[in-house]
Structure 1
C-alpha cells in the first residue's frame, strides 16, 4: 500500500511540476528570436564559472559563503533523494547501504555536514532580511509577495533539514539497539556512524521506545520526500526557480562587450539605402518573403527577445543590481531589479491571457506605462553596473533600452533635455547650440 501511495505522490508531484515548467517555457518562447548558439566553448566556460562556480557571488565573501552552503547542500542531497525514491518504489530501506558499505557512510555523512551548514546559513539569511534589514532587501518592490516568498523558501529549508535528521537520528538509535525500521526485529548489529546523526540521534531520541522511534523515522522519511515535492512545485511560482534556470541563462549570456547596443535591421537597411547613391530614394524596399514587420523597440513583453524573458524568470531578486545602480543611489525611481520583476509579472499575465483567450486577445495593457513608467527608463545612465553585478548574468539594461527605443521611435516621447540635444545634432552636427563654423571660436578668445 505504501508503495502505491508513494508512486501516486511521485506521479502527481512530478506531473504538476512538468505542467508548470511547460507553461513557463511557452511564456519564454513568446519573445522574439535571438541567436545565442555561437561560441559554444566560451558559453560552457561562462556557465561553469558563473552558475556552477558562483564566480560573481564572491565579490561579497560573507553572503557568498552562506549561499554556497545552501547551494552545495541542495545539489549534493539529490544523491540521498535518489535512494529515497528507490526505497519508496521498491519497499526497501536504505537500498544502497549494503552494496556501498563504508562509501555509503561517507556520502550520508557529507550530506549531513552540508545540511548543518545550510541550516545555519538559513537562519543567517532570515536574520539579514528580517532583523538586520539589509537595505537592498527592503526596497519598495520587495513589499508583499516578494518578501513572503523569500522567507517561505528559507522556512521550507529549515523544515526539510529537520526531517532529514529526524529520519537519520531515529534510524541511528534503532540500529544501536540492534533493530531496523525495515522489519522491527532484533538481529541487526552495529551503527551507521553518520557524522552528525550519531550524536543527534541519541541526544534527542535515545530515551524513546521502539514504537516511538519507528514513528519518528517514518515522519522524517515521509516529511522529507513531501517537502521535496512541495519545494519542487513551489519553484515555478517563486524567485527560486533560478536554481534551475541559472544554468541555461548563463550559457546564453550576451558575450559581446558591455556597452555595445544592437541596431534594428530594418533601420540599418533604410540608412544604407539613404547612403547609396544608386538607390531610388522614392522606391520602397520590397519586403522579404515571410518577413514579419517588427515594432521599433518594445511596447510589451512579446516585443522583447526570448533571452530577455528568460532573464525575467531567472531573477533571484537579490537586489545587487539595484544596490549598484547610480541612478537608484541618488534617489531616482529606477530600480533594475523592479524592471526585471515587472517584466516577469507582465509575462505571466500575458501567458495566462493567451492560454485562456487565444493569441489575438488584447487586455489593453502594456509593459511600458502599465508596469514600468517613463520616469524609470529615462533615469538609467546606461552604465552597465546592473549587468556587471548580476550573479546570473541578467541584462536589465537591454530591456530598458528597448523600452526607450519604443518610446522615442513610435511614441515620439523623450525628456525635453534630450529633444534639444537631438535637434542640435540634426541641425549643427553636435549637441551644442551653435554651428560647426563657430565651434573653434574659443581659441581666439584672449
Structure 2
C-alpha cells in the first residue's frame, strides 16, 4: 500500500491550517492596535446576544427573503462541513468513509448533507440573481466598485463549486457501490447525488474512481483554500460575527461615550463653589488626543467591527443621509476603516514590527469631513446591522477630533456651541430676553 497520498494530504493540511493561523495572528495584531475598551460587563447578556444574533441570525430575518437564503447557506455550509472531519481522518489514515459503521445514523447524516447542499446551491443562485440581474441598489453604491463587487460574486462561485464537488464525489461513490467496486462498500444515503449517478453509466470502474478521487481531493483542497481566502474577503464575518456580537454595545443606542477629563471639567464649571483640588480634578488624566484621526486612535472593538463588516449594505440603505443624496455611507465608513487598518498592518510588517509614519491617516485620506458631518446620529445604521457593528461610534470619534483638536466644526455648529456657552441655549438670544415672546402675544 502506498502512503504517498496520505503524506501529500498531511502536507496540504499542515500548510493550509498553518497559513490560516498566520493570518489569524496578523488579524489579532491589527485589531489590538486599537485602544483598550471596557467590555467585561454583563457577560450573561453578551452571551445571549451572541447566541441570538450571531448563531440565531435574528437580525437577518428582518428582511425575510435575504434572511431565509442566508440561513440556508449558513446552516448548510456549516453542517455539510462536519463531513470534513471524516475527510480529514480518511485522508490521514488512508481509509474510506470511516464513519460508515454508524449505519442508519450515517445514512441520515449523508442524506441530510446532500439535501442541504442542494438548498445551498439554490440559495447561492438566488443571491447571484439579486446581485447581477435584479441589481439591488444597495449593491451598486460607489464603494462597491472594483474588488468588493468581485469578492461578492467570487464567494458565490466558490460555494457553488464546493457544493457541486461534494455531490459529484457522492454520486461517483454511489455508482461505485452499485457496481461493487473494491473499497466502496454500501454506506450512506444519496437522495440528491443518486440523480447524478446515471451520468456515469457506461464508464469503467477505474474512470469513475478517478472522478470520485478527483472530486474528493478538489473538495478538501477547495475548503482549505476557502479557509485562507476568508482573511482577504468580506466573508471573514463567518468567524468574527461571534466575538463581534459578544462585544457589541449594551448601552442605549442614543448614549454616547464621554471623555472623563472633559466631563470633570464641565462639572467644575457648573459648580462655581467647587474646589478643584478637593475633588481630585488636578489628577484627572487628559488623553493624548481628543477623538480619532487614524485607526490607532479608535478602540479595538471598533477595529473588530471594521473587520467584521459583511458589506451587505443594510446600514447604508437605512441611512437617511444617504437616502437624501448625501455623501455618507455607513458601509463605506467601515470599509475605509478596515482598508486603512490593513495598510497600517502592512506598514508594520514591512518595517519589522514598527509603524513608520506614512503621511496618511483615516481622516481626509479615506473618510472625508463631508461624510462625517452628513451623519444625523440617528442610529439607523447601528440598528440595521445584522452583526452588531457600530459605524456611528467611529463617526462621532472623528467628529470629536475635528471639534476638539482642530476647531473645525461647521459654522452653524460653532455658532450653536458659542450660544450654548454664552446664552445657555442654542439660540442667539440673551437669557433675559427668553420670555419676550410671551409678552408680545
TM range (shorter): over 0.9
What residue in structure 1 maps to residue 302 of structure 2?
Answer: 308
Answer whether contact 2:69 2:123 (CA < 8 A) is retained: yes
Aligned partner of 1:391 in structure 2 is 386
Q: Distance in 2 between matches of 1:292 and 1:375?
A: 28
Cα deviations by residue, 1:316-353 (Å, 9 ceiling, x for unpaired)? 00000000000000000000000000000000011111
Map residues 84-95 of structure 1 onto 2, 5 A cutoff: 84-95=87-98
**Pair 1:355 & 2:349 matched:** yes
Does residue 366 (structure 1) correspond to residue 372 (structure 2)? The answer is no
In 2: Cα distance, 1:33 partner to 1:273 partner: 27
- Deviation at 1:360? 4.8
Q: C-alpha distance in 2, partners of 1:339/1:402?
A: 12
Pairing 1:341–2:351 present? no
TM-score (norm 1): 0.94
> Is the Cα contact below 8 Å between 2:344 and 2:355 reproduced in 1?
no
User: 1:117, CA displacement in angstroms?
Assistant: 0.5
Hey, what does 1:77 align to over in structure 2? Answer: 80
The alignment status of 1:403 with 2:405, answered yes or no, reads no
Q: Secondary structure at the match of 2:84?
A: helix
1:201 alignment partner in structure 2: 197
Report what 2:153 is aligned to: 151
Name 1:294's counterpart in structure 2.
288
Q: CA RMSD in A?
A: 1.7
Name the count of aligned residue pairs.
Answer: 435
Deviations 1:397-431 (A, max 9, x none): 00000000000000110111111111111111111
Partner of residue 141 from structure 1, selected from 121, 125, 143: 143
For the 8 Å contact 2:110–2:188, the answer to whether it is kept is: no
1:54 to 52, 57, 66: 57
SS of equivalent to 1:55: coil
Say whether the 8 Å CA contact 2:347–2:355 is kept in structure 1: no
Q: Distance in 2 between matches of 1:360 and 1:117?
A: 47
Instruction: Return closer, same or farther for 1:168/1:310 CA change in 2, 3 Å cut-off.
Output: same
Question: Residue in 1 aligned with 2:118?
Answer: 116
Matched, 1:267 2:262: yes
Structure 2: tracts of 5 or more residues without a match: none
Contact 2:171 / 2:190 at 8 angstroms: preserved in 1? Answer: no
Q: SS at the partner of 1:348?
A: helix
Q: Which 4+ residue blocks in structure 1 deviate beyond 4 angstroms?
A: 283-288
> Could you give the per-residue CA deviations for residues 93-150 of structure 1, whole angstroms, max 9, x where no partner exists?
000102x111001011111111100001111111111111100001000000000011
Q: Who is 1:321 aligned against?
A: 315
1:347-379 alpha-carbon deviations (Å, 9 max, x no partner):
001111122224351111111111000000000
In 1, Cα distance between the equivalents of 2:375 and 2:74?
33
Shift of 1:277: 3.1
- Note closer, same or farther for the CA distance 1:442–1:234 as it changes in structure 2 (3 Å cut): same
Distance 2:436 2:273 in 1: 35
Q: Is the 8 A contact 2:138 2:316 kept in 1?
A: yes
Offset of 1:218 from its aligned partner? 0.7
Q: Which of residues 21, 30, 38 is equivalent to 1:27? A: 30
SS in 2 for 1:362: coil
**Structure 1 stretches lacking a partner, 5+ long:** none
